[in-house]
Amino acid sequence: MRRRRFAKILATLGPASSSPERIRALFEAGVDVFRINMSHTSHALLKTLHGRIREVEAELGRPIGILIDLQGPKLRIGDFADGAVDLAAGARFALDTTRKAGDVHRVYLPHPPVFRAVEPGHRILLDDGRIRLKVVEAVPKRIDCEVEVGGRLSNKKGVSLPDTVLPFGAMTDKDRSDLEAALNLDIDWVALSFVQRPEDLAEARKMVRGRAYVMAKIEKPSAVERLAEIIEMADGLMVARGDLGVEMPLEAVPGVQKQITRACRRAGRPVVVATQMLESMIAAPVPTRAEVSDVATAVFEGADAIMLSAESAVGKYPVEAVATMSRIAEKVEADPNYPNIIHAQRTDPEPTGPDAISSAAREVAATLNLPAIVCYTSSGATGLRAARERPNRPIVALTPSTATARRLALVWGLHCVLTEDARDETDMVDRACRIAYQEGFARPGQRIIITAGVPFGTPGATNMLRIAFVGGESLSGV
């Protein structure tokens, strides 16, 4: 099950893709990590999907990552007496704390903190940005607005506040319950929605206690403004372009995507590009040319992973969408311009032994034209460092930890293999050569480069680089 690409693929499970047969087909088509959206998933269904993924993992003998996506705080207006109203540009419209059914002049907003946070001049977006209001006056129980962009507004539409930092965290009671249920199942990644500031990650990290990696979804302008601090607090980031495109001008999103991707690459944090990548494949067996270019751009930027949402969850062609995305990534990575673009964005290694070893491994592999880099990684830190270098050779990550192998399934270029820690240096070389051969990365007579830490089994202690020949005694157990 070796992938022929560096970029990884996430696919969202849903009604179109939840059967055991479909999950297996999706993995075989190219999925590396499955996303479960807790906005539409009960705890019982979560347990069922988790079990089905782990069955496929056991059958195929490859680590598969599971990411749960928490819903986060959803802001919605109340109901209208007639079910909907038509708002005219230039008209006045209010959001208030009165539970009475709304009309063309006002509607109930059941979120008291919003009234304390908004200020005159702030924008309020309704129904995914289709309706735009400008705050004229805000008091504790009423927000008076002018309608800048009107239209038809119906019951319980969503509310976005791009100019307002809300005085509550990114986790709701539902999120806490969902997260605890997921952690009890040993999921690998948890994605936190509507992160506004680095402090929003603190509660999730406290609950997780190292049992999973925490991913911050960047979908608010306030998060972009504090990007460096959020990267420092998170284990990975997701460019959630759907909500970003609602809360900031659409034309700004591509630039922000590049900003986030490059910042994560510099920091060595995995980054996922998500939302509407192959949207037309919800209903069509082939994507548009623009969608192909969109996927290609993310791959050229060196994003760790690209994600399918509705395409795999509810679309008519989920397996075809994954296969298409995989082919696009493979083609991009074979393009003559790809190595130069990736190299141009490479960051100097940190002044640490493990970073220096990872950087040297990339250079040696390129200079000697070696077929693979093999790294021993217990906690996953060495695997992340190796991927940060974006070498033009596959990285075989050997780990004794099932949890580490599953988490690293999302990371650029890593082919994870479960194996025992090396007993000594001879075993380290023999094991690395044998696995590189068995997994199809090297042939007898070729050389590979190996990184490891001494003493063996010590997390984060990478301090050794070794070039070894594949063949002879190292393959005696094959």
- Determine, yes or no, domain membership for 165: no
Residues 151 and 131 in one domain: yes
pLDDT band at 167 (very low <50, low <70, confident <90, very high): confident
- Determine, yes or no, domain membership for 325: yes
- The pLDDT mean for the chain works out to 94
- Determine, yes or no, domain membership for 272: yes
Residues 153 and 207 in one domain: no
CATH of the domain at 42: 3.20.20.60
- Determine, yes or no, domain membership for 402: yes
- The per-residue pLDDT for 462 is 84
Residues 35 and 175 in one domain: yes
* pLDDT tens figures, 379-413: 999 999 999 999 999 999 999 999 999 999 999 99
Q: How far is CA 478 from CA 96, 97, 360, 398, 437, in A?
A: 72, 71, 30, 17, 9
The two structure tokens encoding residue 329: 């990534």
Give the span between the Cα atoms of 31 and 23, in whole angstroms.
Answer: 9
Residues 251 and 193 in one domain: yes
Residues 287 and 234 in one domain: yes
Terminal Cα-to-Cα distance of the chain (whole angstroms): 18
Residues 260 and 298 in one domain: yes
| Domain limit, last residue, from 160, 179, 208 | 160
- The per-residue pLDDT for 477 is 47
* Residue numbers annotated as active site: 35, 76, 217, 275
* pLDDT tens figures, 335-372: 999 999 999 988 888 888 889 999 999 999 999 999 99
Its domain, for residue 428, covers: 353-475
Query: b/e per residue, 253-285, with b = 16+ CB within 10 A?
Result: beebbbebbbbbbebbbbbbbbbbbbbbbbeee
Q: Is the pLDDT of residue 476 over 60?
A: no
Mean pLDDT, residues 117-129 taken together? 94
The two structure tokens encoding residue 32: 């590396």
Residues 138 and 226 in one domain: no
Residues 236 and 255 in one domain: yes
| Domain limit, last residue, from 105, 140, 160 | 160
CATH of the domain at 95: 2.40.33.10
Instruction: Report how many domains make up the chain.
Output: 3
pLDDT band at 109 (very low <50, low <70, confident <90, very high): very high
pTM of the shown model: 0.93
- Determine, yes or no, domain membership for 77: no
CATH of the domain at 411: 3.40.1380.20
Give the span between the Cα atoms of 83 and 461, in whole angstroms.
Answer: 63
Residues 184 and 211 in one domain: yes
| Domain limit, last residue, from 136, 160, 184 | 160
* pLDDT tens figures, 177-230: 999 999 999 999 999 999 999 999 999 999 999 999 999 999 999 999 999 999
- Determine, yes or no, domain membership for 3: no
Residues 361 and 311 in one domain: no
Amino acid present at 128: D
- Determine, yes or no, domain membership for 340: no
